[in-house]
């Protein structure tokens, strides 16, 4: 079964902030962050039920080599990406730690 992926505006904003922060340190680091995010998105799309439920219906997938996680939910045939958050920052009351 194939799932479509929808990235909410809040997640896109999170991604841009993280990318520009890493890019300001070293441009290659920003590119590596984006590659790790793309790899995570591909993995989620291939196996959306393969990640742990954390709070309610929200699942979390970790990026490789970066301290970020993707908070998402499966709704029918769609995977909805809500946030891409740093794991050391204050946990969200909605999406969990």
Average pLDDT over residues 8-36: 95
Angle between helices 9-25 and 27-46 (to 10 degrees): 150
* 76 within a domain of the structure (yes/no): yes
Question: How high is the pLDDT of residue 93?
Answer: 57
* 43 within a domain of the structure (yes/no): yes
* 70 within a domain of the structure (yes/no): yes
Q: What is the pLDDT of residues 79-93, one digit of tens each?
A: 999 999 988 876 565
CATH label of the domain that carries residue 62: 3.30.2310.20
Contact call for residues 79 and 95 (beta carbons, < 8 A):
no
Q: Using H for helix, E for strand and C for coil, what is the string for 11-77?
A: HHHHHHHHHHHHHHHCHHHHHHHHHHHHHHHHHHHHCHHHCCEEECCEEEEECCCCCEEEEEEEECC
Q: What is the pLDDT of residues 25-56, one digit of tens each?
A: 999 999 999 999 999 999 999 999 999 888 78
Q: What is the pLDDT of residues 50-81, one digit of tens each?
A: 998 887 889 999 999 999 999 999 998 899 99
Structure tokens at 34: 């984006």
Global pTM? Answer: 0.88
* 29 within a domain of the structure (yes/no): yes
Question: How high is the pLDDT of residue 91?
Answer: 58
Total number of domains in the chain? 1
* 97 within a domain of the structure (yes/no): no
- Compute the Cα dihedral for 32, 37, 97, 11 and give only its sign: positive
Question: How high is the pLDDT of residue 7?
Answer: 94
Band (95; pLDDT cuts 50, 70, 90): low
CB atoms < 10 A from the CB of 35, how many? Answer: 14
| Domain limits for position 69 | 4-86
């Amino acid at each position: 079964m194939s799932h479509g992926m929808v990235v909410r505006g809040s997640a896109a904003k999170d991604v841009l902030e993280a990318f520009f922060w890493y890019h300001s340190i070293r441009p290659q680091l920003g590119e590596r962050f984006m590659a790790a995010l793309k790899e995570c998105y591909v993995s989620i799309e291939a196996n959306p039920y393969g990640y742990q439920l954390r709070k309610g219906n929200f699942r979390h997938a970790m990026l490789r080599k970066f301290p970020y996680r993707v908070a998402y939910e499966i709704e029918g045939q769609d995977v909805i990406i809500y946030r891409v958050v740093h794991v050391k920052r204050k946990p969200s009351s909605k999406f969990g730690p």
